[in-house]
Amino acid sequence: MSKRKNTKLINRLTCAALALPGLMHEASAARVEETYDVDVQYGHYEESGQRIKVNTFESAFTIPIGNAMTSMFNFVHDAVSGASPIYNSRDAQGKVTQVMSGASIKEERNMIDANIAYFLDQSTLKAGGGYSTEHDYKSKYLNASWSQDFNKKHTTLNLSGSVAFDDIEPTNFNSDCGNKCTKTTEQVLAGVTQVLNKDALLQTNLTFSNSSGYLSDPYKRVIFYDANNVLTTIASDKRPRDRRQWAGLVRYVQHVEDANRAALHADYRFTTDNWGINSHTVDLSWHQPLGEGWEIVPRIRYYTQGKADFYEPTFTGTPTNTPNYSSDYRLAGFGVVSGGLKLTKTLSSSKPLQYLKLNAGIEYFDHKSRYELGGNDSGSFADFKYYLFTASVNLKF
């Protein structure tokens, strides 16, 4: 195989890895394109049992500035409706039931961010920031990143950092910090992307994040019972005021030339924090070109986490004797099994556009306590199903 063809395979493999969720803005050094890009995406998320529904509209624009810089702008609008769990209760026999808010939640979020990237021969520098607002939550954030190519651009080092400043103004005024609370989150990432050979690529990332301030959910409640199973207190959710989390990611991409240039993507992610939550994620997808610009991507995923140290479905005792407590199902031990399918059509000669790409995908999730790694006998009161549908258009001109 010629050196020219080897280079094409490596570039295609690298781009495939960067196209995975969460990697779209981790461009490697010296990969600037002098094209205008427009991305428009719609997403619909819906949970079973008349629970939360979310409609998301997102648009992104990339504008070249000469041949060494690009500017990027991103706009997101979320519309949330439906019902959400507020607290858990238990009957005389000790059976736990999840109590919902009723279909009364209506919320909208708007977010805008921008960044600028400067491309050198072997490195890329990027800096940006954004602002997100809801009626009771506002967030401002800044980020910066640097990537450096080595080893004839077969090895790339990625470093990034961000900081977010959040203001929470709960409408029910039941939080432990009154009607205005604040939170700060800092995050740093270090990663290496390594081309192993003409058909394989390996990426590893290590992320550390530190959150401090008001980390509770002002809309969640906790029920306390006495030793005779009699309800004594309904208290507001109360969590530690700091959270330190480590996350490690290993991603492997294997190109299969004999299967019409298909590629296997295999991810493993581990997280741990000082709240006692450890989680594992295994994600497998197969990217199969079908010819004439069509591609199909089946995907399977398994996620499992252990419960937080201060989580219980309900509590026995009193809040004064318990420093932190939460019955939020998101802090419980559980597992999620999901499967999905995405279909893509690419048109590369649709002038005046240089490139037109259409995507549609759906993923179905099954969330159950018994799917937790190692087993979970807490019951099925918080089990539910949900799905995510997405459709997007990408233009280059």
Which tens digit of pLDDT belongs to each residue from 315-349? Answer: 999 998 889 999 999 999 999 999 999 999 998 76
Rounded distance, CA 292 to CA 347, Å? 8
What separation in angstroms does the CA of 16 have from each of 9, 52, 286, 341? Answer: 11, 33, 11, 17
Q: Let me know if 91 is exposed, middle or buried by CB neighbors in 10 A (0-12, 13-18, 19+).
A: exposed
What separation in angstroms does the CA of 43 have from each of 145, 180, 347, 361, 391? Answer: 28, 31, 22, 9, 7
Domain that holds residue 167: 3-396
Omega before 21 within 30 of 0, i.e. cis:
no
Instruction: Give mean pLDDT, residues 6-18.
Output: 37
Does residue 190 register a pLDDT over 50?
yes
pLDDT given at position 101: 85
Residue 72: partners with Cβ closer than 8 Å, 6 or more residues away = 25, 60, 61, 62, 63, 114, 115, 116, 117, 128
What separation in angstroms does the CA of 63 have from each of 72, 125, 277, 355? Answer: 6, 16, 41, 15
What is the pLDDT confidence band of residue 174, given thresholds at 50, 70 and 90? low
pLDDT given at position 20: 34
Judge contact between 222 and 325, C-beta under 8 A.
Answer: yes
Handedness of CA 11, 14, 20, 22 (dihedral sign): negative
24-33, 102-111, 186-195: which range is least confident on average?
Answer: 24-33
In the structure, how many helices (H) and strands (E) does the chain have?
A: 1, 21
CATH number at residue 162: 2.40.160.40
> Where is mean pLDDT largest: 27-31, 113-117, 259-263?
113-117
pLDDT given at position 29: 45
Q: Tell which wins on pLDDT, 27 or 387.
A: 387
What is the pLDDT confidence band of residue 105, given thresholds at 50, 70 and 90? confident
Q: How many CA atoms lie within 13 A of 63 on its CB side?
A: 9
pLDDT given at position 90: 92
pLDDT given at position 199: 94
Instruction: Give mean pLDDT, residues 203-232.
Output: 95
Judge contact between 171 and 137, C-beta under 8 A.
Answer: no
pLDDT given at position 148: 96
What is the pLDDT confidence band of residue 31, given thresholds at 50, 70 and 90? low
Element (H, E) at 215: none
pLDDT given at position 333: 96
Q: What is the CA radius of gyration of the chain?
A: 23
Rounded distance, CA 279 to CA 132, Å? 28
- The token pair at 100 is 């919902």
Does residue 74 register a pLDDT over 60?
yes
Judge contact between 164 and 139, C-beta under 8 A.
Answer: yes
Rounded distance, CA 54 to CA 107, Å? 9
Instruction: Give mean pLDDT, residues 18-46.
Output: 64
pLDDT given at position 33: 63
Structural domain count of the chain:
1
Listed in sequence order, the DSSP H helices in the chain are: 3-18
- The token pair at 308 is 């937080």
Does residue 223 register a pLDDT over 70?
yes
Burial 368-380 (b: 16+ CB within 10 A, else e): bbebbeeebebbe
8-state DSSP, 323: S
pLDDT given at position 289: 96
Nearest to 125 by CA among 113, 115, 138: 115
What is the pLDDT confidence band of residue 351, given thresholds at 50, 70 and 90? low
Compute the residue count for the chain: 397
The fraction of the chain above a pLDDT of 70, given in percent, is 88
Does residue 377 register a pLDDT over 90?
no
Instruction: Give mean pLDDT, residues 208-215.
Output: 97
pLDDT (tens digit, 9 = 90+) per residue, 246-295?
999 999 999 999 998 999 999 999 999 999 999 999 999 999 999 889 99
Judge contact between 209 and 186, C-beta under 8 A.
Answer: yes
pLDDT given at position 275: 98
Phi, psi (rounded to 5 degrees) for 285: -140, 150
What is the rounded average pLDDT for all residues in the chain?
Answer: 89
139-148, 155-164, 373-382: which range is least confident on average?
Answer: 373-382
75-89, 218-232, 346-360: which range is least confident on average?
Answer: 346-360
- The token pair at 114 is 């921008």
Rounded distance, CA 306 to CA 304, Å? 7
The whole-model pTM stands at: 0.88
Does residue 19 register a pLDDT over 70?
no
pLDDT given at position 273: 98
